[in-house]
Structure 1
């Protein structure tokens, strides 16, 4: 059964937190459109000596969504989520947890490690904790450590993607887990959202299509590359961050490398400290999932959600007719 905070969305979907790309503008637009908006806490990077930008971002998101809800009581905004990278190299984690706890963030997403203290902080302020996983083994560990739900990151997802088919991954998790389960991996249409539910997921977890939106914090060239590319333009490599991820081949070529001849890197290359060391992996080498063939134009996030909602309704109708 879904917790109440996830049960009354316009469509069963959550926007995934994308490094650099997801910020307050995009999150607010996603929530107003009726799906859960999210961003990585590490995207909020202030200059030395400035007040924590994460605190400022959360205040703005809360205030704007509150104003929207007061003006639209019949169409309230969806809740928002904050992603915490719990890898040991993230020196900001403890501070960011305190800020999110102060703001009573309703949905916490954890990545790159399951930490009981993060789940406890979410629960203490009335929130829920979702952990993203790429295998059934990691899923079991996350629930054992106190996560409320899981995000199954299957093959075809953008960024740090899993390697398993969504059919296999969702099936294995559903054999033992009946709690909140989201699916990530090449979901960019309303039909794909319905397919995720048919497989056993509760919600779809959608990222790459939102790169090509007006509110996304991405270069115009990045947005256009999403529009112009398809699944065959996606390359999987561990070179850039130490974890296997999916990237746009044209951006790799633009950086002077051959997408077909990339070396690898092991997990010791991961560094979420200052962020500068791996900035190239996200500012010059652009991540994307395989579902971008359905992205036809750069548009406002609300229009993208409108399309997904219309396609989802049409898909349900068509399936019922069968």
Structure 2
């Protein structure tokens, strides 16, 4: 969800000890893209993951941005939508690591064959372009064929969700919607307020906004003058002045667990405190240390 991504959000997450992702899409120029990379490069507490589609290794939009990532020696790149082989080759060339976003077993198998360093499983309930597989089957199935870094996302908004993701075989949990409802995110105030107000029953799947099925908040579709019940199955023309993501809001099923808009620091403190009561810290830290050793070889 590119409009939610912002440098302030990424920096706030890093300061709070959260591995933060940044979506390069909102940058309107190469100069702005590089300015963001300079800001992100100042993070000392934790590296940021820069998100670029796999096609960025070959298309006119992505090639110069990938070159900038190389100049700045970006340590982590989140790849998605397509074959990551060329992305892996480029990023490994400067010593970086590639994590591939996948939604199906076939996607996971192809990413592993391409030599990625980690997988992010986007499961049912995620915001944006969600997956549709339950993590209760998807995560263990991928674990049968992959022993590397595994990130689990989709409907997670609290420490209990993190603990469940780790219990299923994940190494890290990914949250998106929870961090949209923070002052640091790049969305409008109306988007934040709606996430804190609606329940998961107000989330609908539609491909009408941009041609790819995604999770949207029903109320924002109606506010844009559209009827969710009559939206076509393929991309349709939006009302004048309406832009998906900016004006029609995306969110995951975890809206049902979010009741307020609080700073990233407060979200992190709550997650850390509750997780400590659910899982022995030594258990999951040991696993991450083992993965770190693998990456250093």
Work out whether the TM-score is over 0.5: yes
Deviation track 1:244-267 (CA, whole Å, cap 9, x = no partner) reads 11011110010111222221117x
The answer to whether the Cα contact below 8 Å between 1:115 and 1:145 also exists between their aligned partners in 2 is yes
**Rounded Cα–Cα distance in structure 2 between residues aligned with 1:278 and 1:95:** 30
Tell me the equivalent position of 2:83.
Answer: 114
Flag structure 2 segments of 5+ consecutive residues without an equivalent.
284-297
Distance 1:278 1:94, change over 3 A: farther
Provide the rounded CA distance (Å) in 2 between the counterparts of 1:62 and 1:278. 36
Q: 2:268 aligns with which of 305, 314, 321?
A: 305
| Count of matched residue positions in the alignment of Structure 1 and Structure 2 | 277
Alignment of 1:62 with 2:44, yes or no, is no
Distance 1:287 1:146, change over 3 A: same
Q: Which has the higher contact order (CA 8 A, sep 6+)?
A: 1
Instruction: Please point out which of 237, 255, 273 is paired with 1:292.
Output: 255
User: How many Å separate the matches in 1 of 2:271 and 2:257?
Assistant: 11
> What is the Cα deviation at residue 91 of structure 1?
3.4
Alignment partner of 1:86 is 2:71:
no
Q: Give deviations 1:47-99, integer Å, cap 9, x for gaps.
A: xxxx5211111111222x24xxxxxxxxxx12111000234896311111101
Q: Counterparts in 2 of 1:86-235, with a 5 A limit? A: 86-87=54-55, 91-235=60-204
Structure 1 position 36 matched with structure 2 position 4: no
The 8 Å contact of residues 86 and 114 in structure 1, kept in 2 or not, is answered as yes
* Cα deviation, residue 278, structure 1: 11
1:316 Cα shift? 2.5
Please, which moves more after superposition, 125-134 or 291-300?
Answer: 291-300
1:25 and 2:8 are equivalent in the alignment: yes
- Contact in 1 for aligned 2:84/2:100 (Cα 8 Å): no
Cα deviation, residue 43, structure 1: 2.0
In 1: Cα distance, 2:242 partner to 2:163 partner: 35
Unaligned runs of 5+ residues in structure 1 are: 1-17, 67-76, 270-276
Tell me which moved more, 292-301 or 212-221: 292-301
Structure 1 distance, partners of 2:21, 2:133, is 24
Stretch of structure 1 that moved more, 110-119 or 26-35: 110-119
Query: What TM-score, normalized by structure 1, do the two folds share?
Result: 0.82
Tell me the TM-score normalised to structure 2 length: 0.88
